[in-house]
Amino acid sequence: MSEKLQKVLARAGQGSRREMETVISSGRVSVNGTVAYLGDRVEGNEQIRLDGHLVKIATIEEQACRVLVYNKPEGEMCTRKDPEGRPTVFDRLPRIDGSRWVAVGRLDINTSGMLIFTNDGELANRLMHPSHEVEREYAVRVFGEINEAMLQTLRHGVKLEDGMAKFDKITYKGGEGRNHWFHVVLSEGRNREVRRLWESQEVQVSRLIRVRYGDLAMERRLPLGGWVELGLKDVNYYRKLVGLEVETQSKVKVDEKKIDNNKSRKIRKNVKKHQQRITQGAQQTRRKKR
């Protein structure tokens, strides 16, 4: 049976289905040597190229859906390559044969916390799409005077430059002086939405950490810069959440237990090794410029 070309490219990990529609419309995809058009369908045995590079296509049956949770540090860009040479969230991820990791949404450079990656572009697209209303929860530290009227305004809705926005839930978590911690929940992922909502009340966000996506919270023992691959149960939670068929098996050996102290230490060790490699690379680059 044939499938839409953008769906096949998304499953191959080239991006979300919406992104692939744009790529096809730009004339960057060819099928058997002929430039493809939006609406084309493929059987799966064609030679498909993106920007001249051959795309390895896997059938639905061949490709196991994989999902990673990454604890993003501040200072990393949510892009594959940064023109200014800044570190990106993709730098630390493991390599994946015949596909690539797709980020489920973005966190800006000054935001840390839970970032999800998958090799299934369709899953990524659905988890990001506002129609599925997947909850995101953030721990946020704000600086300024807060009163109940402001919180009610943020719950009922504020008109931003790109439309109405609101927090579905706001929970006070304590603070001192003019610094206050809140947990906020929303079900869409517009650019800098959490920061812009608070700024609409003339208070400043000084820390922002994503702690939950859907019903799955990031484990406290996962260190900054570390990642963990989800087991079959959690992968299928996300798939069922957005109306995709469940996976029956995983092609990788995944420990579905929570992160214990030993596993946390191993992750920290790998994070430290990665940081050392970055530091050594930067030192070598500086020597070459001298």
Task: With respect to residue 59, please indicate whether it lies within any of the assigned structural domains.
Answer: no
Find, among 101, 134, 100, the residue nearest to 117 by Cα. 101
Give pLDDT, residue 134: 95
Find, among 139, 134, 86, 84, the residue nearest to 112 by Cα. 139
Neighbouring residues of 160: CB distance < 8 A, sequence distance ≥ 6: 193, 196, 197, 200
Residues 141 and 34 grouped into a single domain:
no
Query: Is 108 among the residues known to form the active site?
Result: yes
Residues 140 and 205 grouped into a single domain:
yes
- Cα–Cα distance for residue pair 266/232, rounded to 1 Å: 22
Residues 125 and 147 grouped into a single domain:
no
Residues 139 and 124 grouped into a single domain:
no
Task: With respect to residue 19, please indicate whether it lies within any of the assigned structural domains.
Answer: yes
User: Which of 180, 213, 246 is the endpoint of a domain?
Assistant: 213
> The domain containing residue 164 runs over which residues?
135-213
- CATH number reported for the structural domain that contains residue 257 in this entry: 3.30.2350.10
Q: Are 101 and 117 in contact (CB under 8 A)?
A: yes
Residues 262 and 150 grouped into a single domain:
no
- The token pair at 99 is 């596909």
Give pLDDT, residue 290: 62
Task: Point out the catalytic residue in the list 51, 108, 162, 215.
Answer: 108
Task: With respect to residue 15, please indicate whether it lies within any of the assigned structural domains.
Answer: yes
Task: With respect to residue 50, please indicate whether it lies within any of the assigned structural domains.
Answer: yes
- CATH number reported for the structural domain that contains residue 20 in this entry: 3.10.290.10
Task: With respect to residue 236, please indicate whether it lies within any of the assigned structural domains.
Answer: yes
Q: What is the pLDDT of residues 151-183, one digit of tens each?
A: 999 999 999 998 999 999 999 999 888 899 999
Give pLDDT, residue 260: 76
Residues 182 and 232 grouped into a single domain:
no
Compute the half-sphere exposure of residue 185: CA atoms within 13 Å on the CB side of its CA: 13
Residues 118 and 145 grouped into a single domain:
no
Residues 157 and 20 grouped into a single domain:
no
Neighbours of 268 (CB within 10 A): 16
Residues 149 and 173 grouped into a single domain:
yes
Find, among 29, 27, 26, the residue nearest to 5 by Cα. 29
Give pLDDT, residue 257: 56
Residues 115 and 246 grouped into a single domain:
yes
Number of domains in the chain: 3
Which residues in the chain come in under a pLDDT of 50? none
Give pLDDT, residue 69: 96
Neighbouring residues of 56: CB distance < 8 A, sequence distance ≥ 6: 12, 98, 99
- Residue in the block written with tokens 């099928």: 31
Task: With respect to residue 101, please indicate whether it lies within any of the assigned structural domains.
Answer: yes
Residues 235 and 269 grouped into a single domain:
yes
Residues 75 and 112 grouped into a single domain:
yes
Give pLDDT, residue 121: 83
